[in-house]
Amino acid sequence: MFKIIWKKEYNTNVREIDEQHQHLVHLINVLLAERAKGESPAALKKILVEIIDYTKYHFKTEEEHMVRHQYEHLEEHKANHRTLVDQIVALLNELKGGKSLSSEDLLTILRNWLINHIEKEDLKYSMFLGQAKRVIS
C-alpha cells in the first residue's frame, strides 16, 4: 500500500515544526489507508477535515516562528501557505460535491502539496536559520 515514509531530508531541525510535519504525514497516511480499505466518503471527508484543521494550526505555528526570527521571505511563505490551504479545501469541496477521491488527487496532496512544500520552502527557512545540524525549539 502507498504510504509516505519520513525521510531525514524533510527535517528542518526546528523540533516543533518537524514534529508537526510528521503528524501531518501520519494523517495523510491514515487517509491513504482508509481509501485503500474502501472506507466511505464520509470517513474520508472526516479525515480530510482533520488534515485541513491541523494544517492551519501548523502553518500558524510556522508563521509565528518566522515572525520571531524575522524571516526575510515571510510574506512569500505565507502566500504559499494560503495557496496550499485553498488547494486542499478545494479537494474537500469536490468530495462534498460527490466526487470520489482519485489516486491522482491523492498524489497531488502527497507530492505537490505537502512534501514539495516541506522539501523546498520549509527547508529554505531552515537554511535561513542556519539550522542544518542544530536542533532548536
Stretch 54-113 residues interacting with Fe ion (CB under 5 A): 62
Residue found by looking up cell 494544517 in the block: 55
Residue 45 or 78 with smaller CB distance to Fe ion: 78
Long-range contacts of 50-54 (CB under 8 A, 24+ apart): 51/24, 51/27, 51/88, 52/85, 52/88, 52/89, 52/92, 54/20, 54/23, 54/24, 54/27
Is 122 a binding residue for Fe ion by CB under 5 A? The answer is: yes
State the nearest-atom distance from the C-beta of 99 to Fe ion, in Å: 27
State the nearest-atom distance from the C-beta of 66 to Fe ion, in Å: 8
Is 18 a binding residue for Fe ion by CB under 5 A? The answer is: no
Q: Which residues lie near Fe ion (CB under 5 A)? A: 62, 122
